[in-house]
Amino acid sequence: MNNLKITKIKESRASSIDFDNLSFGKTFTDHMYVADYIDGEWTNMEIRPLENLSVHPGNLAWHYGQSIFEGMKATRDEAGTPLLFRPEEHIYRLNASARRMCMPEISEEMFLEAVHSLVKLEKDWIPSPEGSALYIRPFMFATDEAIGVRPSDTYKFIICTLPVGPYYPKPVKLKAEETYIRAAQGGVGEAKTAGNYAASLYPAKLAKEEGYDQIMWLDAKEFKYVQEVGTMNIFFVIGDEVITPATTGTILKGITRKTIIEILKDEGYKVTERPITIDEVVEANKKGELKEVFGTGTAAVIAVVDEIKFRDYVMHLNPDNYIVAKLAKSTINGLRNRTIADTRGWVVEAGATIDA
């Protein structure tokens, strides 16, 4: 693919950014990638200066929610080479979300060209401090101008990039939720679609009022099985077993989740993907066997949990004693800055195959 048009800004804002004090999600880089889906094909692929979009009020995405996205990160090694982590996994998942939401798929070639070209262009925006990265936000939404519930015929695919610090700078407190649900079997829980996050906002607000950072979702049928946290997948270390809920349709198939499972298995841990009930977590805590709880996600990376509330029972944990979460975090961060050798082919140089 060589039809990507690139228009560069005159002067980058990168030199005005304090990369040592980045919060998450507030600063956008100079450029964005944009493509249109018209007449059954992707066209108008372009990287251009970041700007507002002009959108018709009847935009179908706003009314009926055809909107999906991904979250990826670019890092750099000590020599400053920009790096991507398992980028192809993100197009597989974006396309799975697209199928579920009745949206068009994107070829792996088009997606990788877009990500590589944009990150290569924005390489001066990749922060080097530990725990920070260039967050990459590919997203697609419907653009037909109409009122009426039907799939759109036209779409936009955009990628923005943002230098970010840690999503959770402190240990996280979770509330196990028994009134609201995130996803039911047969629903859209496995898709990375905007509505899943919108639905989490009100319960998360109530949890915040009680002093909790996020919801730990239970299954929609029995409020029994742990699912995930609103912003990440969840892992428990009980005795010598590392457990994460099996993804059976209602849980986002996290790429960091998958990565951590592989890393921990290679390190010799017994890692099990299986149903886990909140009662099992409570019982393990009562017996002193609940050793660690941590979340995984692109934004969160590895976020340690220091408190979980279920009904009136509050579990206090001490992340200072966590061994598995520390190993997971140092390994994924080490792979991402190439201080740990990548033997699995996960780390790729951004722009290595692009002429841009």
Binding segment toward ligand COI, per CB under 6 A, in 96-104, 266-274, 294-302, 343-351: 294-302
Among 82, 166, 297, 351, binds ligand COI (CB under 6 A): 297
Q: How many residues bind ligand COI (CB under 6 A)?
A: 5
Binding segment toward ligand COI, per CB under 6 A, in 82-90, 156-164, 243-251, 296-304: 296-304
CB of residue 177 vs ligand COI: minimum separation in angstroms?
Answer: 17
Element (H, E) at 168: none
Closest to 218 measured CA to CA, from 274, 275, 178: 178
CB of residue 83 vs ligand COI: minimum separation in angstroms?
Answer: 17
Question: Is the CA virtual torsion 130, 174, 252, 143 positive or negative?
Answer: negative
Q: Is 298 in the site for ligand COI (CB under 6 A)?
A: yes
Binding residues for ligand COI restricted to 230-289, rule: CB under 6 A: 231
CB of residue 284 vs ligand COI: minimum separation in angstroms?
Answer: 27
Binding segment toward ligand COI, per CB under 6 A, in 139-147, 265-273, 293-301, 319-327: 293-301
Amino acid at 284: A
Q: Is 117 in the site for ligand COI (CB under 6 A)?
A: no
Q: Is 191 in the site for ligand COI (CB under 6 A)?
A: no
How many whole angstroms separate alpha carbon 140 and alpha carbon 143?
10
Among 22, 172, 299, 332, binds ligand COI (CB under 6 A): 299
Q: DSSP string covering 2-65, please?
A: ---EE---SS-SGGG--TTS--SS----SEEEEEEEETTEEEEEEEEE--PPP--TTBHHHHH-
Asked whether 281 and 236 are in contact (CB, 8 A), the reply is: yes
> Angle at which helices 255-266 and 324-336 pack, to 10 degrees?
110
Binding mask 88-107 for ligand COI (x = CB under 6 A): --------------------
